[in-house]
Each structure stands twice: as C-alpha cells, then as structure tokens.
Chain A
Amino acid sequence: MPLTRTTFGRVTLLLMAVGFAALLAVGVGLVWLVESSRGFSQAVTATQNVRLASVRVLSLMQDAETGQRGYLLTGDRSYLAPYEAAVAALPEALPDLARQVIADGGLAGPVEALARNAQRKLDELAHTIALAETGNREAALAAVRSGLGQASMQDVRAELAALETRSAGRLAARTAAVERSGRALLAGAALALALMFAVTFGAGLISHRYLRALERAEAATRVANEGLEARVAERTASLAAANAEIQRFAYIVSHDLRAPLVNVMGFTAELETSLGELRGLVERLQQEAPALLTPAIQAAVTEEVPEAIRFIRSSTERMDRLINAILRLSREGRRALKPERVELAALLDALLATMQHQLEEAGATVERQPSLPALVTDRLALEQILGNLIDNAVKYLDPARPGRITITAERRGTRIEIEVADNGRGIDPRDHARVFELFRRSGRQDQKGEGIGLAHVRALARRLGGEVSLQSTPGQGSRFRVILPAILAPEPAASEENYA
C-alpha cells in the first residue's frame, strides 16, 4: 500500500491517541487505587477504634464487678472505688462504642442490646451493693448467687465478642477487596503497557515504511533531475554549437567580404593616380591645343570621374566599417569570458575618467549612486556595456537643457540591476526594439555611428547571462536597464577553433 503523507499523518496521530489513552487509563487506575487504599486505611482505623471501645467497655464492666465482689467480701467501702469509677465512665463509654460501631459501618441493634444487658448488670450490681449497705449482706450474697448478674455479664461478653468477630470479618473483606483492585490495576497497567508497546512498535514500523518510501521517491527525483540536467546540458551544448556556427558564419562572411573590398579600394586609388595623369594631359591640351578638348572630356576628367571616385570611396569606407562591426561582434562572441570580482563603483569611476573630455564637451554631468554593489562578471564586457550606454547618453542629449546622466545599481536576489538614465532626446516607442538591432538607429541622424553600440550591448549582456531593456519617452529621456547575474558562472572551456 503506498503510504501517502496524509495517511501517514493520520495513522501516526491515531496511534499516538491510542497510546495516550492507555497512559491516561493507567493514570486514572492509579488515582483510584490510591483513593481506595486511603478508604481502606480509614476503615482499618475505624475497626481499631471499635475494638478499643469494646475493650474499654469490657474492662469497665469487669472493674464494676470486681469492685462489687471486693465490697461484698470485705464490707470495706474502699473496695468500691473501681465500681464507682466504672459506673461514672460507662454512660460515656457505651455511647462511644455505639458511635464507633456505626462509623465502622456496623448496625446499631447489637450495640443497643449490649447497652441493655450492661444496664441490667449494672442494675444488679447497684441492687446488691444497696442491700449490703443497708446491712443486709446475706440478701446481697443471695442475689449474687442467683446467677442473674452472672448471666448478664455472660451476655455482655458474648455481644462484645460478636462485635469483635464482625469487625475482624469486615477488615478481612476490605483487605481482600484492596488486594483484588491492586491485582486488577496491575493487570490493567500491564495491558496498557503492552498496548503502548504495540502502538510504539506500530508507529515505528509505519515511520520506517514511510521513510523508505520517501527515500525511494527522493532517489527517483534525483534520477529525474539528473536526466533533466543532462537534457539541459544537451540543449545548452546544441545552443552553444548553433551560436558558434553563427559566429563562424559572421567571421567568414566579414573576412571574405573584406578581400574584394581591398581590391575596390586599391584599384580606386590606382584610378585616382591615373586620373592625375589624365588631368595633367587635359591641362596641357587646354594650353596647347584647346580645339581638341571638348567640354564633355573636361567635365569628365575634372568633375565626373573625381565625383564617382569620391562616392566609391565613401561607400567602401562605410562598407569597411560595417564589416569591422560584424567582425568585432563575432570576435566578442568568441572571446572566452573571465569571471572575476568587479567593484562597480571603481569600474564606473575609471570609465568616467576616460570619458571626462567627451562629457565636458557635451556639457553633461554624470551622477552615480554613492554605494554600488560588487559582482562577479567579465570586466571587459561590463566595461563595454556601460561605456556604450554612457556614450549613447552623451551623444543623444537634448540641446535644450543641460545633460544629466544618472547611474544606479542594486542587487535583487541573484541578479544585479544597473540603470543608466539620461534626460536626453529620448527614443520613439516604435524604435525601442529596433535600436538593439545591428546597423539600426533611431531619430535624427546627426551623430556619427553605424548603429552598432546597442547591438553590441545586447550581445554582451546576453553573453553574460543577462538582458538589457529600454524605457524612454521622446523629449524627456531614456532609461536603459541592464540585468546581470550577480555571479557569472565560468563557461565550459570553449574549443580553440580557428576559422581561417
């Protein structure tokens, strides 16, 4: 059965509840046992009290009898002292016994009977003593001999003995009950213990199974991840290969485009040299044989051919610059990146120092955030990115107001966001995507350039694992945001290929 997290949670909770209930039951049983032991000891005390009270009553009764016998034998009143003490104590001792018996859970009936018999005995004793005191000693002895007092005393003894027997029986019963409950509790505790053991074992077993299942799932995830990583690596490799293909293509194209261009330029120069000869000839003709010189020839040599050469020149020069740009981009793409720790503040300060002249000429001020983060990246690439952005900001200022360029940067998670903002002429929203393309420019073409800078910036930013974006309002300014990874991972060693 697959163990899901919820069933695991539920089962564990249930087992814990069962274990807790068993523990609670044992606790309750213990409390009950303590309570019943206390009841038992109270009962034992009560029984002891009954015994003490009955012994006292018996002793008093015997004292009374002993006093009477001594007096009757001797006629000396001093022998009556135990009798009189007993008669004085009994009215208190008998009800005390009754109270103790009732407190011990006994019945009032036997005690009342005892009291009646005791009274009868006492009455008999008092009667004989009274006879003796009146000098009728013979009548008193006769009364004793009658055995009535003896019988009453026997009854009292029997009743006290019965009381004792009943007390002993109750004590035995109570002891047995306490023992029984103790044994029951022991059995219950053992049962609860067994239950708790079973619950613990079960919980352990389930936890073990759950952990095993988790481990298996983790292993499966790991395998899946490894597969994923392999796929990503594969995809990255094929992308890198495609990129290398494009770089190679750009390189070959620019390389091969250059060769014919050398010819165009070279032979144009040759033409110019030859034209110089021709011009000399035309000048001589003008002086020596003006009739041979038609205006068409003169125009061709002095105006049309030089003009054509000028156009060929400027076009080939432009072409050369474009090819160089492609070559530079392709080379930049092939350059191995060297990630190193770069303090953005120091890098910017050095960069701004080299641009100081340009900034002063344009009347622009640059403000950078006082504290800038550091990052691990390719120093040269970052320098080129920022250099191009600042250069653009300076080039495309609005002449209507003094230029202000603000550079800020902050770290966001694993990335660094660098912003270069200006209050320049801005870029038409339609051109926001175009400006990042090679050879594309925006707005009035009043500045030198081939439309390479931003294409270069974007290529570099992407190469560094980042991106560049643009926000701009025409007439207000532009804000370029470069997002780069804070830590550039070293590239896998690129194969040192040669494309010659």
Chain B
Amino acid sequence: MNAVPLAVTIVMIEDDEGHARLIEKNLKRAGVYNEVRHFADGTSALDYLLGPSHGGQRPLLVLLDLNLPDMSGFDILAKIKDDPVLRPAPVIVLTTTDDEREIRRGYELGCNVYITKPVNYESFAQAVRQLGLFLAVIQVPPPT
C-alpha cells in the first residue's frame, strides 16, 4: 500500500522561496519523502504540467499558492481541472488568506483541500504535517 503514495510526485507552485523551504522542511519532518518539484511561477509550472510529458506520466499532487507573480492560482487550478489527464490529481491550495469567498471559489474550481498558511508557525507546521498524513492515506490515481 505504501508503494503508491511514495510514487506520488508533489508539484509545488509557490513563488515565495521562504514558504517553499518551510513547506519542504515540514513535509520532511512529517515523514513525507516524496519527490517535490518546485515551481516559482505559474508559467513554468503549467509548461511542466500541460506539456507533452504531462508531469512525467506519474501520479501527481499539486500544492498551489494563489498569489503568483505571473498569474492567479485560480487560473492554474482551472487549467488543471480542465485537462482530462490531470483532472484526477488532487490539488491542495495553500495560501495566506482565509477569505471565505476565495475558499468558496477554490472549491468551486475543483480544489480538493484548502489550507490557510497561518502566520503562527506552530499552526503552519501543524497544517503541513496534517498534509503529510493526508498524503499517507489518499490514493492518487496515476495519469492514464
């Protein structure tokens, strides 16, 4: 059973290097050792995801920040959910705001989990660790 979650590649789309580092650190602390591919902008992330390889033909999990320099995270979310190959991939939105309307919009566009990045570090670490637990139990279907 463990073989499948381990095979999942985590695609992290996050423009803030610091946040990316903190997420990686805490994932490791939570015992998540999956491959993490980090993209600092939407364009390169979409090139990787929607390009010919479709994220390297491997099961994917997308960690998505909504504030990106070149486009809104919602646009990326919509594109992922529009793509027949990528649609099954779980998308976890990680962002700084807890605005209800944004959360609603995220879920409407097909985001699976919405996590607010708390400024309080303990909460932040807790959230990422829960994400690790989440990764341990979900079955990510491989792209067809």
Contacts and interface: CB of A to CB of B under 8 A. Distances in A.
Are the chains A and B members of one assembly? yes
Interface of A: 255-256, 258-263, 265-270, 316-317, 320, 327, 331, 496, 498, 500
A269 B122 contact: yes
Given A320-B119, A500-B102, A255 B22 contact: no
A258 B74 contact: no
Interface of B: 16, 18-19, 22, 25, 66-67, 72-74, 96-97, 99, 101-102, 105, 117-122, 124-125
A331 B96 contact: no
Contacts of B122: 269
B117 A262 contact: yes
Given A256-B67, A500-B74, 9 more contacts: A255-B97, A262-B16, A262-B19, A262-B117, A270-B22, A317-B120, A320-B120, A498-B74, A498-B105
A256 B16 CA distance: 11
Contact of A259 (B16, B72, B124): B16
B119 A316 contact: yes
A500 B101 CA distance: 10
Nearest to B117: A262
A341 to B, nearest CB: 26
A271 to B, nearest CB: 11
A261 B102 contact: no
B99 A331 contact: yes
17 contacts: A255-B67, A255-B97, A256-B67, A258-B119, A259-B19, A262-B19, A262-B118, A263-B16, A265-B121, A266-B121, A267-B22, A317-B120, A320-B120, A327-B97, A498-B101, A500-B72, A500-B73
B56 to A, nearest CB: 29
Contacts of B19: 259, 262-263, 266
Contacts of B101: 496, 498
Q: Which of A258, A496, A498, A500 has the most CB of B within 10 A?
A: A500
A310 to B, nearest CB: 14
Contacts of B25: 270
Contacts of B118: 262
Given A259-B16, A262-B18, A500 B67 contact: yes
B49 to A, nearest CB: 20
B96 A258 contact: yes
Contacts of A260: 16, 18
B96 A262 contact: yes
Given A331-B99, A498-B101, A265 B119 contact: yes
Give 9 nearest A-B pairs by CB, closest first.
Answer: A263-B18, A269-B121, A266-B22, A258-B96, A320-B119, A265-B121, A261-B119, A266-B121, A500-B66
